[in-house]
Amino acid sequence: MSRESQGRGPLYRLYTNRLRRHLDPASVPHHVAMMIDGNRRWARQLGLDTPAEGHRAGAAKMREFLGWCDELGVRVVSLYLLSSDNLRKRDSGELADLIEIIAELAEALSQESNWRVKHVGRSDILPTELARVLADAEERTKDHTGLHVNLAVGYGGRNEIVDAVRSIITKHEASGGTMEDLAAHLTPEMIGEHLYTGGQPDPDLVIRTSGEQRLSDFLLWQSAHSEFYFVEALGPDLRQVDFLRAIRDYADRDRRFGR
């Protein structure tokens, strides 16, 4: 039996449907952030020729994951696909394959009915063609009102905060304000408005696959009050039941926000 078919029998479907039925729609998170991890390990464990096969399987899983979110009523999903660190440190051959796979994913998502795609990250550090595909996907879907999909590509949380502060300073100086005045009136809300995700709600739930338990520079500012859920499954092996368990766990938590 293949890994793809494991756990997909009648009992699995029965359990999945039971989990879904017992979820209160009011308890479903508005914004879910997903850190897809373990694609390379998945490819190695299966004896596949290149990491690209794992990344391609991970991309297919993310399309499936977005469908689960849309079906459950999640309104915003952020996918961490390529970090600024990846661009500097990954093997050039693997990186070229990954860039091609991300471009294909962005193009495919922009063709989904009423989904809105937004690039979250720095376009200036991306290959020209990938930046163009992401911009086209965003433009093509800008008026869509369905599931909002953030694609974090060329993304780094620290860089995002720096870029937000730079944007605030530039805007303030253009209006004739002084640095002393800006320092006196700078607020967390002001910085939040200038992030790549400005105007969006912060993630309620951050999920990471492959058993790793770290943020890896993803949505550092936005996840200050997020709930976290770590799944042991490698990215391509993520099942709908794993996702539903994450939502159930989130719904059972008491979010106090410092109260």
- 259 residues of the chain, pLDDT tens digit each: 345 445 568 888 888 988 888 899 999 999 999 999 999 999 999 999 999 999 999 999 999 999 999 999 999 999 999 999 999 988 999 999 999 999 999 999 999 989 999 999 999 999 999 999 999 999 999 999 999 999 999 999 999 999 999 999 999 999 999 999 999 999 999 999 999 999 999 999 999 999 999 999 999 999 999 999 999 999 999 999 999 999 999 999 987 766 6
Say if residues 207 and 12 touch (Cβ distance below 8 Å): no
pTM confidence score: 0.92
- The pLDDT of residue 11: 86
Residue 243 lies in a domain: yes
Cα–Cα distance measured from residue 44 to residue 51, given in angstroms and rounded to the nearest whole number: 7
- The pLDDT of residue 177: 92
Active site (annotated) includes residue 37 = yes
CATH number, domain with residue 84: 3.40.1180.10
Residue 224 lies in a domain: yes
Residue 259 lies in a domain: no
Active site (annotated) includes residue 86 = yes
Domain containing 103: what range? 29-156+200-252
**Strand segments (E) across the chain:** 31-35, 76-83, 116-120, 148-155, 205-208, 227-230
Residue 230 lies in a domain: yes
Residue 122 lies in a domain: yes
Residue 186 lies in a domain: no
Residue 183 lies in a domain: no
Cα–Cα distance measured from residue 69 to residue 77, given in angstroms and rounded to the nearest whole number: 8
CA nearest to 153, candidates 116, 122, 107, 110: 122
Residue 18 lies in a domain: no
Number of domains in the chain: 1
Token couple for 196: 């790549």
User: Which of 39, 86, 150, 159 is labelled catalytic?
Assistant: 86
- The pLDDT of residue 7: 53
Say if residues 147 and 75 touch (Cβ distance below 8 Å): yes
User: Which of 37, 97, 202, 237 is labelled catalytic?
Assistant: 37
